[in-house]
Structure 1
Amino acid sequence: MTTLAEIVAFLDRELKISEIPDYSGAMNGLQLENGGEVSRIVAAVDASLPVVEKAIAANAQLLLVHHGMFWQGTQAVTGAFYRKLKLAMDAGLAIYSAHLPLDVHPVWGNNACLIRALGITETKPFLDWKGLPLGLQGKVDLAREDLLKLVEHAVGAPVHHCPGGPERVRSVGVVTGGAGSEVAQAAAAGVDTFVTGEGPHWSYPLAEELGLNVVFGGHYATETFGVKALAGALAERFGLDWEFADHPTGL
Protein backbone atom coordinates (compact mmCIF):
# COMPACT_ATOMS: atom_id res chain seq x y z
CA MET A 1 0.00 0.00 0.00
CA THR A 2 1.33 3.43 -1.01
CA THR A 3 0.10 6.80 0.13
CA LEU A 4 -1.78 8.99 -2.30
CA ALA A 5 0.42 11.90 -1.23
CA GLU A 6 3.57 10.07 -2.39
CA ILE A 7 2.06 9.32 -5.78
CA VAL A 8 0.74 12.86 -6.26
CA ALA A 9 4.08 14.40 -5.31
CA PHE A 10 5.85 12.15 -7.82
CA LEU A 11 3.36 12.92 -10.60
CA ASP A 12 3.31 16.66 -9.97
CA ARG A 13 7.10 16.77 -10.08
CA GLU A 14 7.71 14.48 -13.05
CA LEU A 15 4.90 15.94 -15.18
CA LYS A 16 5.79 19.54 -14.22
CA ILE A 17 2.16 20.22 -13.39
CA SER A 18 2.78 23.70 -12.03
CA GLU A 19 4.99 24.75 -14.97
CA ILE A 20 3.16 23.65 -18.12
CA PRO A 21 0.33 25.86 -19.43
CA ASP A 22 -3.03 24.35 -20.31
CA TYR A 23 -6.70 25.11 -20.87
CA SER A 24 -8.36 26.36 -17.69
CA GLY A 25 -10.80 23.45 -17.59
CA ALA A 26 -8.00 20.90 -17.56
CA MET A 27 -7.28 21.52 -13.86
CA ASN A 28 -4.22 19.28 -13.96
CA GLY A 29 -3.23 17.34 -10.88
CA LEU A 30 -5.25 15.74 -8.11
CA GLN A 31 -8.92 16.50 -8.73
CA LEU A 32 -10.42 14.29 -6.03
CA GLU A 33 -8.64 12.81 -3.05
CA ASN A 34 -9.46 9.66 -1.09
CA GLY A 35 -8.64 8.40 2.39
CA GLY A 36 -4.94 8.51 1.60
CA GLU A 37 -3.86 5.05 0.44
CA VAL A 38 -3.49 3.39 -2.96
CA SER A 39 -2.84 -0.24 -3.88
CA ARG A 40 -4.45 -0.39 -7.32
CA ILE A 41 -4.60 2.07 -10.21
CA VAL A 42 -6.98 2.24 -13.14
CA ALA A 43 -5.84 4.30 -16.13
CA ALA A 44 -8.33 5.74 -18.62
CA VAL A 45 -8.65 8.52 -21.17
CA ASP A 46 -11.71 10.24 -19.69
CA ALA A 47 -13.03 10.73 -16.15
CA SER A 48 -16.58 9.94 -17.25
CA LEU A 49 -19.27 8.30 -15.15
CA PRO A 50 -18.95 4.91 -16.93
CA VAL A 51 -15.19 4.99 -16.43
CA VAL A 52 -15.56 5.80 -12.72
CA GLU A 53 -17.92 2.83 -12.45
CA LYS A 54 -15.34 0.59 -14.17
CA ALA A 55 -12.58 1.81 -11.84
CA ILE A 56 -14.69 1.07 -8.78
CA ALA A 57 -15.57 -2.39 -10.13
CA ALA A 58 -11.83 -3.01 -10.52
CA ASN A 59 -11.27 -2.14 -6.84
CA ALA A 60 -9.01 0.79 -7.67
CA GLN A 61 -8.17 3.56 -5.23
CA LEU A 62 -6.77 5.86 -7.94
CA LEU A 63 -8.16 6.70 -11.35
CA LEU A 64 -5.49 8.23 -13.59
CA VAL A 65 -6.93 10.08 -16.60
CA HIS A 66 -5.99 12.38 -19.46
CA HIS A 67 -9.26 14.32 -19.56
CA GLY A 68 -10.47 15.30 -16.10
CA MET A 69 -13.83 16.24 -14.63
CA PHE A 70 -13.93 20.01 -15.14
CA TRP A 71 -13.79 20.72 -18.89
CA GLN A 72 -17.12 22.54 -18.66
CA GLY A 73 -15.84 24.82 -15.90
CA THR A 74 -17.87 25.62 -12.80
CA GLN A 75 -21.04 23.55 -12.68
CA ALA A 76 -23.74 22.56 -10.23
CA VAL A 77 -23.11 19.29 -8.42
CA THR A 78 -26.29 17.67 -9.69
CA GLY A 79 -27.35 14.87 -12.01
CA ALA A 80 -24.59 12.78 -13.55
CA PHE A 81 -21.88 14.98 -12.05
CA TYR A 82 -23.27 14.42 -8.56
CA ARG A 83 -23.55 10.66 -9.14
CA LYS A 84 -19.98 10.49 -10.39
CA LEU A 85 -18.57 12.37 -7.41
CA LYS A 86 -20.69 10.44 -4.90
CA LEU A 87 -19.78 7.09 -6.37
CA ALA A 88 -16.07 7.94 -6.34
CA MET A 89 -16.12 9.37 -2.83
CA ASP A 90 -18.16 6.51 -1.37
CA ALA A 91 -15.73 4.02 -2.94
CA GLY A 92 -12.60 5.88 -1.83
CA LEU A 93 -11.53 6.52 -5.43
CA ALA A 94 -9.09 9.39 -5.99
CA ILE A 95 -8.91 11.00 -9.44
CA TYR A 96 -5.75 12.50 -10.94
CA SER A 97 -5.74 14.19 -14.35
CA ALA A 98 -2.88 15.23 -16.63
CA HIS A 99 -3.70 16.81 -19.99
CA LEU A 100 -0.97 18.78 -21.79
CA PRO A 101 1.63 17.84 -19.16
CA LEU A 102 1.12 14.23 -20.20
CA ASP A 103 0.84 14.97 -23.93
CA VAL A 104 4.29 16.57 -23.99
CA HIS A 105 6.21 14.35 -21.57
CA PRO A 106 9.37 13.10 -23.36
CA VAL A 107 9.00 9.49 -22.17
CA TRP A 108 5.40 8.81 -21.08
CA GLY A 109 3.68 11.39 -23.27
CA ASN A 110 1.06 10.55 -25.87
CA ASN A 111 3.16 12.14 -28.61
CA ALA A 112 6.38 10.42 -27.57
CA CYS A 113 4.71 7.02 -27.30
CA LEU A 114 2.90 7.32 -30.62
CA ILE A 115 5.88 8.56 -32.61
CA ARG A 116 8.01 5.74 -31.15
CA ALA A 117 5.31 3.29 -32.20
CA LEU A 118 5.76 4.58 -35.75
CA GLY A 119 9.45 3.65 -35.55
CA ILE A 120 10.66 7.26 -35.43
CA THR A 121 13.36 7.55 -32.78
CA GLU A 122 15.15 10.79 -33.65
CA THR A 123 12.73 13.63 -32.98
CA LYS A 124 12.56 17.34 -32.28
CA PRO A 125 9.85 19.66 -30.88
CA PHE A 126 6.94 20.53 -33.17
CA LEU A 127 3.97 22.93 -33.21
CA ASP A 128 4.25 25.73 -30.66
CA TRP A 129 1.36 26.80 -28.38
CA LYS A 130 1.95 29.56 -25.81
CA GLY A 131 5.65 28.82 -25.91
CA LEU A 132 5.05 25.09 -25.42
CA PRO A 133 5.97 22.63 -28.20
CA LEU A 134 2.84 20.49 -28.35
CA GLY A 135 4.23 17.68 -30.48
CA LEU A 136 7.21 15.96 -32.02
CA GLN A 137 8.49 15.60 -35.57
CA GLY A 138 10.97 13.32 -37.25
CA LYS A 139 12.35 12.19 -40.60
CA VAL A 140 11.22 9.03 -42.41
CA ASP A 141 11.39 7.55 -45.89
CA LEU A 142 8.13 5.71 -46.39
CA ALA A 143 5.36 5.29 -48.89
CA ARG A 144 2.28 7.10 -47.60
CA GLU A 145 0.30 3.84 -47.54
CA ASP A 146 2.96 2.21 -45.38
CA LEU A 147 2.80 5.08 -42.89
CA LEU A 148 -0.98 4.72 -42.74
CA LYS A 149 -0.56 1.04 -41.90
CA LEU A 150 1.89 1.91 -39.12
CA VAL A 151 -0.55 4.39 -37.60
CA GLU A 152 -3.41 1.91 -37.85
CA HIS A 153 -1.32 -0.75 -36.13
CA ALA A 154 -0.29 1.69 -33.39
CA VAL A 155 -3.82 2.89 -32.58
CA GLY A 156 -5.46 -0.46 -33.19
CA ALA A 157 -8.11 0.84 -35.57
CA PRO A 158 -8.63 2.12 -39.12
CA VAL A 159 -7.65 5.75 -39.65
CA HIS A 160 -9.05 8.53 -41.82
CA HIS A 161 -6.61 10.50 -43.94
CA CYS A 162 -6.30 13.42 -46.29
CA PRO A 163 -3.85 12.57 -49.11
CA GLY A 164 -3.03 16.20 -49.77
CA GLY A 165 0.74 15.80 -49.73
CA PRO A 166 3.37 13.65 -51.40
CA GLU A 167 3.00 9.88 -51.82
CA ARG A 168 6.54 9.48 -50.46
CA VAL A 169 6.62 10.68 -46.86
CA ARG A 170 9.84 12.31 -45.66
CA SER A 171 8.85 14.32 -42.58
CA VAL A 172 6.16 13.51 -40.00
CA GLY A 173 4.75 15.73 -37.27
CA VAL A 174 2.70 14.20 -34.44
CA VAL A 175 0.27 15.93 -32.10
CA THR A 176 -2.29 13.57 -30.58
CA GLY A 177 -5.87 14.47 -29.74
CA GLY A 178 -7.80 17.32 -31.32
CA ALA A 179 -5.03 19.21 -33.11
CA GLY A 180 -6.46 18.94 -36.61
CA SER A 181 -7.30 22.64 -36.60
CA GLU A 182 -3.54 23.31 -36.65
CA VAL A 183 -2.95 22.05 -40.20
CA ALA A 184 -1.72 25.46 -41.38
CA GLN A 185 0.82 25.66 -38.57
CA ALA A 186 1.88 22.06 -39.25
CA ALA A 187 2.47 22.85 -42.91
CA ALA A 188 4.37 26.02 -42.00
CA ALA A 189 6.64 23.92 -39.76
CA GLY A 190 7.81 22.08 -42.88
CA VAL A 191 6.42 18.56 -42.39
CA ASP A 192 4.76 16.85 -45.33
CA THR A 193 2.58 14.62 -43.14
CA PHE A 194 0.70 15.53 -39.97
CA VAL A 195 -0.54 12.78 -37.64
CA THR A 196 -3.20 13.80 -35.14
CA GLY A 197 -6.43 12.54 -33.62
CA GLU A 198 -9.26 14.54 -35.11
CA GLY A 199 -9.98 17.87 -36.76
CA PRO A 200 -12.82 20.08 -37.98
CA HIS A 201 -14.31 19.56 -41.43
CA TRP A 202 -12.39 22.50 -42.90
CA SER A 203 -9.04 20.98 -41.91
CA TYR A 204 -9.32 18.49 -44.79
CA PRO A 205 -9.77 20.93 -47.70
CA LEU A 206 -7.23 23.30 -46.19
CA ALA A 207 -4.68 20.49 -45.94
CA GLU A 208 -5.27 19.70 -49.62
CA GLU A 209 -4.64 23.33 -50.53
CA LEU A 210 -1.48 23.41 -48.43
CA GLY A 211 -0.11 20.17 -49.93
CA LEU A 212 -0.16 18.37 -46.59
CA ASN A 213 -0.96 14.75 -45.80
CA VAL A 214 -3.05 14.50 -42.63
CA VAL A 215 -3.70 11.26 -40.77
CA PHE A 216 -6.66 11.41 -38.38
CA GLY A 217 -6.08 8.50 -36.01
CA GLY A 218 -8.94 9.28 -33.62
CA HIS A 219 -8.90 11.59 -30.61
CA TYR A 220 -9.50 8.76 -28.16
CA ALA A 221 -7.27 6.22 -29.89
CA THR A 222 -4.25 8.52 -30.08
CA GLU A 223 -4.52 9.41 -26.39
CA THR A 224 -4.59 5.97 -24.82
CA PHE A 225 -0.79 5.80 -24.85
CA GLY A 226 0.14 8.28 -22.14
CA VAL A 227 -2.08 7.06 -19.30
CA LYS A 228 -0.98 3.48 -19.95
CA ALA A 229 2.70 4.43 -19.90
CA LEU A 230 2.27 6.57 -16.80
CA ALA A 231 0.29 3.94 -14.89
CA GLY A 232 2.92 1.35 -15.77
CA ALA A 233 5.66 3.64 -14.47
CA LEU A 234 3.76 4.21 -11.22
CA ALA A 235 3.17 0.49 -10.81
CA GLU A 236 6.86 -0.24 -11.23
CA ARG A 237 8.03 2.54 -8.93
CA PHE A 238 5.56 1.96 -6.10
CA GLY A 239 4.85 -1.77 -6.47
CA LEU A 240 1.19 -1.30 -7.42
CA ASP A 241 -1.28 -3.19 -9.59
CA TRP A 242 -2.85 -1.41 -12.52
CA GLU A 243 -5.15 -1.92 -15.49
CA PHE A 244 -6.54 0.13 -18.36
CA ALA A 245 -10.26 0.87 -18.51
CA ASP A 246 -11.03 1.01 -22.21
CA HIS A 247 -14.08 3.17 -22.95
CA PRO A 248 -13.72 4.36 -26.57
CA THR A 249 -15.79 7.17 -27.99
CA GLY A 250 -15.15 6.37 -31.64
CA LEU A 251 -14.05 9.98 -32.15
Structure 2
Amino acid sequence: MTDAKTLGQALDALLQPDKFRDYGPNGLQVEGDREVKLLVSGVTASRALIEAAIAANADAILVHHGLFWRGQDGRVTGWMRDRLRLLLAHGIHLFAYHLPLDAHPELGNNAQLGRLLGFQTSGRFGEQDLGFVGAPSAPWSCAQHLADHVAGVLGRQVTCVGGSDQAVRRVAWCTGGAQGYFEAAIAQGVDAFVTGEISEPQAHLARETGVAFLACGHHASERYGAPALGGHVAQMLGIEHQFIEIDNPA
Protein backbone atom coordinates (compact mmCIF):
# COMPACT_ATOMS: atom_id res chain seq x y z
CA MET A 1 0.00 0.00 0.00
CA THR A 2 1.12 3.56 -0.73
CA ASP A 3 -0.36 7.03 -0.90
CA ALA A 4 -1.12 9.16 -3.93
CA LYS A 5 1.73 11.58 -3.21
CA THR A 6 4.31 8.79 -3.23
CA LEU A 7 2.81 7.29 -6.39
CA GLY A 8 2.89 10.67 -8.13
CA GLN A 9 6.48 11.30 -7.09
CA ALA A 10 7.54 7.91 -8.46
CA LEU A 11 5.78 8.55 -11.78
CA ASP A 12 7.23 12.06 -12.09
CA ALA A 13 10.74 10.78 -11.33
CA LEU A 14 10.44 8.23 -14.12
CA LEU A 15 8.81 10.44 -16.77
CA GLN A 16 10.17 13.93 -15.91
CA PRO A 17 7.12 15.80 -17.23
CA ASP A 18 8.63 19.24 -16.59
CA LYS A 19 10.91 18.71 -19.58
CA PHE A 20 7.98 18.66 -22.04
CA ARG A 21 5.79 21.27 -23.69
CA ASP A 22 2.48 19.45 -23.70
CA TYR A 23 -1.20 19.91 -24.58
CA GLY A 24 -2.46 19.43 -21.03
CA PRO A 25 -1.39 18.84 -17.43
CA ASN A 26 0.73 15.78 -16.65
CA GLY A 27 0.61 14.02 -13.31
CA LEU A 28 -2.26 13.95 -10.81
CA GLN A 29 -5.38 15.30 -12.55
CA VAL A 30 -8.05 14.24 -10.06
CA GLU A 31 -7.29 13.74 -6.37
CA GLY A 32 -9.12 10.94 -4.60
CA ASP A 33 -9.10 10.01 -0.94
CA ARG A 34 -7.87 6.40 -0.93
CA GLU A 35 -4.64 4.70 -0.03
CA VAL A 36 -3.37 2.96 -3.15
CA LYS A 37 -3.37 -0.82 -3.14
CA LEU A 38 -4.52 -1.39 -6.74
CA LEU A 39 -3.40 0.76 -9.66
CA VAL A 40 -5.37 0.31 -12.89
CA SER A 41 -3.81 1.47 -16.15
CA GLY A 42 -5.55 2.19 -19.45
CA VAL A 43 -5.14 4.29 -22.57
CA THR A 44 -7.84 6.93 -22.08
CA ALA A 45 -9.78 8.22 -19.06
CA SER A 46 -13.11 7.32 -20.64
CA ARG A 47 -16.23 6.59 -18.65
CA ALA A 48 -15.94 2.94 -19.65
CA LEU A 49 -12.44 2.71 -18.16
CA ILE A 50 -13.49 4.51 -14.98
CA GLU A 51 -16.47 2.18 -14.56
CA ALA A 52 -14.26 -0.88 -15.13
CA ALA A 53 -11.76 0.44 -12.58
CA ILE A 54 -14.55 0.92 -10.05
CA ALA A 55 -15.69 -2.65 -10.67
CA ALA A 56 -12.11 -3.84 -10.03
CA ASN A 57 -12.02 -1.82 -6.78
CA ALA A 58 -9.11 0.27 -8.03
CA ASP A 59 -7.69 3.05 -5.90
CA ALA A 60 -5.92 4.92 -8.69
CA ILE A 61 -6.04 5.06 -12.48
CA LEU A 62 -3.06 5.77 -14.75
CA VAL A 63 -3.73 6.79 -18.37
CA HIS A 64 -2.07 8.29 -21.42
CA HIS A 65 -5.04 10.46 -22.41
CA GLY A 66 -6.35 12.34 -19.40
CA LEU A 67 -9.39 14.54 -18.89
CA PHE A 68 -8.01 18.04 -19.42
CA TRP A 69 -6.58 19.54 -22.61
CA ARG A 70 -5.44 22.97 -23.68
CA GLY A 71 -8.22 24.99 -25.31
CA GLN A 72 -11.14 22.80 -24.22
CA ASP A 73 -14.35 24.15 -22.71
CA GLY A 74 -13.67 24.47 -18.97
CA ARG A 75 -17.27 23.90 -17.86
CA VAL A 76 -18.03 20.70 -15.92
CA THR A 77 -21.10 19.48 -17.81
CA GLY A 78 -22.20 16.43 -19.78
CA TRP A 79 -19.57 13.75 -20.27
CA MET A 80 -16.98 15.61 -18.18
CA ARG A 81 -19.42 15.85 -15.25
CA ASP A 82 -20.18 12.14 -15.54
CA ARG A 83 -16.52 11.08 -15.50
CA LEU A 84 -15.60 13.38 -12.62
CA ARG A 85 -18.68 12.35 -10.64
CA LEU A 86 -17.63 8.69 -10.82
CA LEU A 87 -14.03 9.40 -9.83
CA LEU A 88 -14.94 11.67 -6.92
CA ALA A 89 -17.80 9.50 -5.65
CA HIS A 90 -15.44 6.54 -5.36
CA GLY A 91 -12.39 8.48 -4.16
CA ILE A 92 -10.23 7.30 -7.07
CA HIS A 93 -7.06 9.20 -8.02
CA LEU A 94 -6.47 9.86 -11.73
CA PHE A 95 -2.93 10.24 -13.09
CA ALA A 96 -2.31 11.11 -16.75
CA TYR A 97 0.93 11.43 -18.72
CA HIS A 98 0.79 12.38 -22.38
CA LEU A 99 4.03 13.27 -24.21
CA PRO A 100 6.25 12.09 -21.33
CA LEU A 101 4.76 8.62 -21.71
CA ASP A 102 5.33 8.68 -25.48
CA ALA A 103 8.96 9.61 -25.02
CA HIS A 104 10.28 7.37 -22.23
CA PRO A 105 13.15 5.31 -23.72
CA GLU A 106 12.08 2.01 -22.13
CA LEU A 107 8.53 2.20 -20.77
CA GLY A 108 7.01 4.67 -23.23
CA ASN A 109 4.58 4.09 -26.07
CA ASN A 110 7.23 4.42 -28.77
CA ALA A 111 9.74 2.18 -27.02
CA GLN A 112 7.11 -0.46 -26.30
CA LEU A 113 5.69 -0.41 -29.84
CA GLY A 114 9.18 -0.69 -31.32
CA ARG A 115 9.98 -3.64 -29.07
CA LEU A 116 6.71 -5.34 -29.99
CA LEU A 117 7.32 -4.90 -33.72
CA GLY A 118 10.95 -6.01 -33.54
CA PHE A 119 12.52 -2.63 -34.26
CA GLN A 120 16.00 -1.84 -32.93
CA THR A 121 16.19 1.82 -31.90
CA SER A 122 19.25 3.74 -33.08
CA GLY A 123 18.17 7.35 -32.61
CA ARG A 124 15.46 9.95 -32.04
CA PHE A 125 14.07 12.73 -34.24
CA GLY A 126 11.38 15.37 -34.50
CA GLU A 127 10.03 17.96 -32.10
CA GLN A 128 11.03 17.17 -28.50
CA ASP A 129 12.74 14.00 -29.79
CA LEU A 130 9.44 12.14 -29.71
CA GLY A 131 10.09 10.17 -32.91
CA PHE A 132 12.15 6.97 -32.88
CA VAL A 133 14.29 5.66 -35.73
CA GLY A 134 16.00 2.33 -36.23
CA ALA A 135 15.87 -0.92 -38.13
CA PRO A 136 13.74 -4.06 -38.12
CA SER A 137 15.40 -7.15 -36.68
CA ALA A 138 15.56 -8.39 -40.28
CA PRO A 139 14.76 -6.40 -43.45
CA TRP A 140 11.25 -6.73 -44.82
CA SER A 141 11.14 -7.48 -48.53
CA CYS A 142 8.72 -4.59 -49.19
CA ALA A 143 6.51 -2.07 -47.39
CA GLN A 144 3.37 -4.17 -47.77
CA HIS A 145 5.02 -7.10 -46.04
CA LEU A 146 5.94 -4.79 -43.15
CA ALA A 147 2.33 -3.56 -43.06
CA ASP A 148 1.09 -7.16 -42.91
CA HIS A 149 3.46 -7.80 -40.00
CA VAL A 150 2.25 -4.71 -38.11
CA ALA A 151 -1.38 -5.67 -38.72
CA GLY A 152 -0.77 -9.17 -37.43
CA VAL A 153 0.97 -7.99 -34.28
CA LEU A 154 -1.57 -5.27 -33.45
CA GLY A 155 -4.61 -7.24 -34.53
CA ARG A 156 -6.10 -4.58 -36.79
CA GLN A 157 -6.03 -3.40 -40.38
CA VAL A 158 -3.18 -1.09 -41.34
CA THR A 159 -3.36 1.61 -44.02
CA CYS A 160 -0.19 1.50 -46.13
CA VAL A 161 0.46 4.26 -48.67
CA GLY A 162 3.48 4.70 -50.91
CA GLY A 163 6.70 2.82 -50.60
CA SER A 164 8.24 0.62 -53.25
CA ASP A 165 9.08 -2.99 -53.97
CA GLN A 166 12.50 -2.55 -52.40
CA ALA A 167 13.43 -3.93 -48.99
CA VAL A 168 12.58 -1.98 -45.85
CA ARG A 169 15.87 -1.66 -43.97
CA ARG A 170 15.35 1.51 -41.95
CA VAL A 171 12.16 2.63 -40.20
CA ALA A 172 10.86 5.54 -38.15
CA TRP A 173 7.90 5.45 -35.83
CA CYS A 174 5.93 7.70 -33.50
CA THR A 175 2.69 6.54 -31.91
CA GLY A 176 -0.72 8.22 -31.94
CA GLY A 177 -1.48 11.27 -34.06
CA ALA A 178 2.06 11.86 -35.29
CA GLN A 179 1.36 12.24 -39.00
CA GLY A 180 2.94 15.70 -38.79
CA TYR A 181 6.30 14.00 -38.11
CA PHE A 182 6.37 12.38 -41.54
CA GLU A 183 8.61 14.96 -43.24
CA ALA A 184 11.08 14.79 -40.36
CA ALA A 185 11.04 11.00 -40.68
CA ILE A 186 11.71 11.22 -44.42
CA ALA A 187 14.73 13.42 -43.65
CA GLN A 188 16.12 10.53 -41.57
CA GLY A 189 16.52 8.46 -44.74
CA VAL A 190 14.00 5.79 -43.75
CA ASP A 191 12.09 3.41 -45.99
CA ALA A 192 8.90 3.47 -43.90
CA PHE A 193 7.17 5.47 -41.18
CA VAL A 194 4.77 3.87 -38.69
CA THR A 195 2.26 5.91 -36.69
CA GLY A 196 -1.35 5.87 -35.61
CA GLU A 197 -3.14 8.21 -38.01
CA ILE A 198 -2.85 9.54 -41.55
CA SER A 199 -4.16 12.84 -42.91
CA GLU A 200 -4.66 13.92 -46.50
CA PRO A 201 -1.21 15.47 -47.18
CA GLN A 202 0.77 12.42 -46.07
CA ALA A 203 -0.66 10.19 -48.78
CA HIS A 204 0.78 12.46 -51.47
CA LEU A 205 4.14 12.75 -49.72
CA ALA A 206 4.41 8.98 -49.41
CA ARG A 207 3.72 8.47 -53.11
CA GLU A 208 6.08 11.24 -54.18
CA THR A 209 9.01 10.34 -51.93
CA GLY A 210 8.76 6.55 -52.04
CA VAL A 211 8.73 6.37 -48.23
CA ALA A 212 5.88 4.16 -47.06
CA PHE A 213 3.40 5.60 -44.56
CA LEU A 214 1.77 3.05 -42.27
CA ALA A 215 -1.22 4.18 -40.17
CA CYS A 216 -2.07 1.48 -37.64
CA GLY A 217 -4.60 3.25 -35.41
CA HIS A 218 -4.14 5.86 -32.69
CA HIS A 219 -5.38 3.64 -29.87
CA ALA A 220 -3.77 0.50 -31.27
CA SER A 221 -0.34 2.12 -31.32
CA GLU A 222 -0.63 3.58 -27.81
CA ARG A 223 -1.94 0.72 -25.69
CA TYR A 224 1.46 -0.54 -24.50
CA GLY A 225 3.06 2.34 -22.61
CA ALA A 226 0.51 2.67 -19.82
CA PRO A 227 0.63 -1.00 -18.75
CA ALA A 228 4.43 -1.06 -18.98
CA LEU A 229 4.66 2.04 -16.78
CA GLY A 230 1.93 0.88 -14.43
CA GLY A 231 3.49 -2.52 -13.94
CA HIS A 232 6.92 -1.02 -13.37
CA VAL A 233 5.87 1.53 -10.76
CA ALA A 234 3.60 -0.97 -9.02
CA GLN A 235 6.53 -3.33 -8.59
CA MET A 236 8.66 -0.45 -7.28
CA LEU A 237 6.08 0.49 -4.64
CA GLY A 238 4.83 -2.97 -3.74
CA ILE A 239 1.25 -2.45 -4.94
CA GLU A 240 -0.97 -4.36 -7.37
CA HIS A 241 -1.45 -3.41 -11.00
CA GLN A 242 -4.06 -4.29 -13.61
CA PHE A 243 -4.29 -3.11 -17.21
CA ILE A 244 -7.83 -2.70 -18.54
CA GLU A 245 -8.25 -2.58 -22.30
CA ILE A 246 -11.22 -0.57 -23.58
CA ASP A 247 -11.64 -1.30 -27.28
CA ASN A 248 -11.41 1.69 -29.60
CA PRO A 249 -11.48 1.40 -33.43
CA ALA A 250 -9.75 4.76 -33.89
When normalised by structure 2's length, the TM-score is 0.92
1:133 corresponds, among 95, 108, 129, to 129
Q: Structure 1 vs Structure 2: percent identity of aligned residues?
A: 38
Distance 1:122 1:223, change over 3 A: closer
Q: Which moved more, 1:188-197 or 1:234-243?
A: 234-243
Query: Structure 2 matches for 1:49-198, cutoff 5 A?
Result: 49-71=47-69, 73-126=72-125, 128-129=126-127, 132-140=128-136, 141-144=139-142, 145-198=144-197
What does residue 30 of structure 1 align with? Answer: 28
Which residue of structure 2 aligns with residue 236 of structure 1?
A: 235
- The DSSP-based 3-state class of the residue aligned with 2:28 is strand
Separation in 1, partners of 2:249, 2:67: 20
Within the alignment, does 1:6 sit opposite 2:6 as a pair?
A: yes
8 Å contact from structure 1 (residues 113, 226) kept in 2: yes
Count how many residue pairs are aligned between Structure 1 and Structure 2: 246
Counterpart code for 2:11: L
SS in structure 2 opposite 1:164? coil
Residue deviations 1:81-114 (CA, integer Å, cap 9, x gap): 1121111011111110011100010010111111
Q: Which protein is richer in strand relative to its size? A: 1
TM-aligned CA deviation for residue 156 of structure 1 = 2.5
Contact 1:31 1:95 in 2 (8 A): yes
Q: Which runs of 5+ in 2 are unaligned?
A: none
Letter in 2 for 1:219: H
Looking at structure 1, the residues matched to 157 and 180 of structure 2 have their Cα atoms a distance apart, in angstroms, of 21
The answer on whether the counterparts of 1:46 and 1:66 sit within 8 Å (CA) in structure 2 is: yes
Cα deviation for residue 51 of structure 1 reads 1.6
SS of the residue aligned with 1:158? coil
> Quick one: distance in 2 between partners of 1:181 and 1:36?
40
Distance 2:154 2:237 in 1: 28
Deviations 1:22-72 (A, max 9, x none): 12xx21111011115111111111111222111111111111100110125
Partner of 1:41: 39
Q: What amino acid sits opposite 2:244 in the alignment?
A: A
SS of the aligned residue for 2:11 comes to: helix
Structure 2 CA distance, aligned partners of 1:220 and 1:12? 23
What is the rounded CA distance, in whole Å, between the counterparts of 1:217 and 1:27 in structure 2?
27
The farther-off stretch of 80-89 and 147-156 is 147-156
Q: Please give the TM-score of this superposition, normalised by the length of structure 1.
A: 0.92
- In structure 1, stretches of 5+ residues that fail to align are none
Residue pair 2:175, 2:222 contacting (<8 A) in 1 also: yes
1:17 aligns with: 17
Output the CA distance in 2 between the equivalents of 1:166 and 1:229: 35
Structural RMSD (CA): 1.6
Counterpart AA for 2:186: A
Q: Deviations over 1:185-220 (max 9, x none)?
A: 221221110000012123112211121101111100
